[in-house]
Amino acid sequence: MNIEAKQLQVDATMRLAPVIPVVIIDDAKHAVSMARALVAGGIPAIEVTLRTPAALDAIRAIAAEVEGAVVGVGTVLTANDLQAAEKAGARFAVSPGVSPRLLAAADDSALPLLPGVATASEAMAMLERGYRHLKFFPAVPAGGTKLLAAWASPLPQLRFCPTGGIALDSAPDFLALPNVLCVGGSWLTPSDKFKSGDWHGVEQLAREAALLKGAISQK
């Protein structure tokens, strides 16, 4: 699959809902219930980060058991991460930044990559490689809405998923920008709801996030 075909897949994933949950999961037994709650609330794309030993098992379970979920992998740092996630059933990959080895592995993988950038130079380098869809990370510390707005005119080809420091109350400011298709956020799956098994609460958070779609125009 060439880069353009993979970019079209990333575009479709980013347009599924206004928020892609960034999930840190400590116990894979919670994965299916969590994903079903998010999907029921209108949030089908789910990024499970490779920050715990349970992550790959969680991706595997969601991919196999949760109808309507589009499960992806986050915190992808190496070629091995990419390969393991693809085998587990991930449908997209997200990285906090980029490296030559990771990009080379992405070229050889069928798994679409949403690479992270924090500067205009990094964004231009990704554009040269054929990437038009990027993660802006860490969004708030790196310059937030003001920086993304400044990029819209000189880099009109690019579309972003800003992630890092974004919450329900600040998400609309990002989604209103012409170059933002969705945001990433961890507030939909807080640790207290995992510990208590409050999947209804997760579904309600997802419903609130799904309503942000009204902030998105045709971009």
Catalytic residues: 47, 135
Amino acid at 173: D
| Tokens coding 130 | 């054929």
Q: CA 15, 5, 20 angle in degrees (round to 5)?
A: 25
Task: Please tell me whether residue 133 adopts helix, strand or coil conformation.
Answer: strand
Task: Report how many helices (DSSP H) and strands (DSSP E) the chain contains, helices first.
Answer: 11, 9
Task: Please tell me whether residue 208 adopts helix, strand or coil conformation.
Answer: helix
Q: Maximum CA pair distance of the chain? A: 47
Count of other CB atoms within 10 angstroms of residue 192: 8
Minimal CA–CA distance to 82: which of 127, 48, 115, 113? 113
